[in-house]
Amino acid sequence: MGSTTETFPTIDSCLSTNRENDTVVADMDGTLLIGRSSFPYFALIAFEIGGILRLLFLLLLTPLAGLLYYFVSESAGIRVLIFATFAGMRVSDIESVARAVLPKFYASDVHPESWRVFSACGKRCVLTANPRIMVEAFLKDFLGADMVLGTEVETWGGRATGVVKGPGVLVGKNKAEAMKAVFGERAPEIGLGDRHTDFPFISLCKEGYIVPPKPEVKAVTIDKLPKPIIFHDGRLVQKPSPFMALLTILWIPVGFLLACLRIAAGSLLPMPFVYYAFWALGVRVTVKGTPPPPVKKSSGQSGVLFICSHRTLLDPIFLSTALGRPIPAVTYSVSRLSEIISPIKTVRLNRDRAKDAAMIKKLLQEGDLAICPEGTTCREPFLLRFSSLFAELTDELVPVAMVNRMSMFHGTTARGWKGMDPFYFFMNPSPAYEVTFLNKLPNELTCGAGKSSHEVANYIQRVIAATLSYECTTFTRKDKYRALAGNDGIVVEKSRIKPNQAMGC
């Protein structure tokens, strides 16, 4: 085949039926992904590992990378991005971000036509100029790639040097040579690319197709991918284009001061005034449903246990804000700083069932109490499995559906320091919480009426999920932390989900 665009038909003319025995070799940026720029993903690694200064360093070198890309070579431009991002970073940190942060952003940009063909083939290989360490976790775990051939980065003492290993950046002829080394004389059935530097490897395939740039193309919906993304980490909500990266850098000093002011208002003002102070400071709190009145201690009646879905560690605080009175909360694992600045009483669980049960019963005798039985937060529209302990301790149960909105920063982390979680939440320009009080659990559905604690927990999970249009899962705290941080989540500082894994949903 030749080396002109006319030589290769476009991807929409490629048949995707009866391809189970075929091998496909595809480029990544602009081919498997709609976006042709890899800057946002380098920026995510720079910020998540190196912070604001590393992101600034990358942003300052990006114009140089662009000039080299267009006037020298594609390889030269990519080398600058790799050096600016990777130099000095621990390999383990890069792998962690590649596993826990990048897949969420990559998965939201999968090209529908490329995925149609790529997913239809029995064997899938990706050739990319991106560092292999950066993309392999997503391509193998979420797109089902069997092999990933990417640019290799030199390491020394467990850290990346930022220098590219031989034979260099995987573009042009280097891609073709890498493919030859793997496939030898056997030509793969399909080659997919999007630019002239992909022609050398496409021409080695039996069929070659070009993915033309079409900005109006809509990405594949998450539910069409082999594996849903339930757990993900990282602080940034939006994919950082150069403009968004600059805006983030400029906003962080302002946002941090604003967060301190909002936290001070929540911690120092009497709880009945916090709702109005938040609104004045740009924090929106919406209350739905009718909460129960506070229990009078003189009556001797047990307090109400509010069962909350878990979005951030601030859930009990916004519950208290919605009620206009402080509600103590039992916690699983929060930082000391969060406990110090908290406007409500927090009590740590011991992870000893008998001790925790006794403690919760004692707190309920003193008044109302809040608990998040998922044990950890989930950012996506899913509810994790509810621990059933709470159902054994009282029949005074009020489900509360919590949902929030963050436009710039996530207020949760599995890999980072949890002490910054409330600051990052309040650093958002206009964060919002919606608190929905559901009906108190009927007596006939409680353990006192003969229901098992698991039945009660599962029922409340289903009720909250239905209110939020979320899906129930059997995943737990350990599942999340093993997927994102490589531990069980106890120390402070996944399997594919199927419809039959959803409990009653």
Domains and CATH numbers, the chain: 7-216 (3.40.50.1000), 242-501 (no CATH)
- Position 337 scores a pLDDT of 86
The enclosing H or E element of 156 equals strand 153-156
- Residue carrying structure tokens 């436009």: 407
CB 394 within 8 A of CB 302: yes
- CA 290 distance to own-chain centroid: 32
pLDDT in tens, 170-211: 999 999 999 999 999 899 999 999 998 899 999 999 999 999
Question: Which residues in the chain land under pLDDT 50?
Answer: 1-6, 491-505
Residue 7 has a pLDDT of: 81
Cβ-based burial of 260 (10 A; exposed 0-12, middle 13-18, buried ≥19) = middle
> Which pLDDT score, from 0 to 100, does residue 489 have?
53
DSSP 337-394: HHHHH-SS-EEE--S-HHHHHHHHHHHHHHS-EEE-TTSS---SSEEPPPPSGGGGT-
274's tokens: 């916090």
Q: Are 78 and 171 in contact (CB under 8 A)?
A: yes
pLDDT at 495: 37
Q: What number of other Cβ atoms are within 10 A of residue 117's Cβ?
A: 25
Residue 437 and residue 431 in contact, taking contact as beta carbons nearer than 8 Å: no
Judge if the upstream peptide bond of residue 328 is cis by omega within 30 degrees of 0. no
Amino acid at 118: F
Q: What confidence score (pLDDT) does residue 298 get?
A: 58
Pairing of strands 397-405, 432-437: antiparallel
Q: What is the pLDDT of residue 349?
A: 83
What is the pLDDT at residue 254?
Answer: 97
Distance of alpha carbon 494 from alpha carbon 127, whole angstroms: 26
> What is the structure's pLDDT at 490?
52
Q: In DSSP terms, which residues pair with 331 in a beta bridge? A: 348
What is the model's pLDDT at position 339?
A: 85
- pLDDT of res. 1: 40
Q: What is the pTM of this model?
A: 0.91
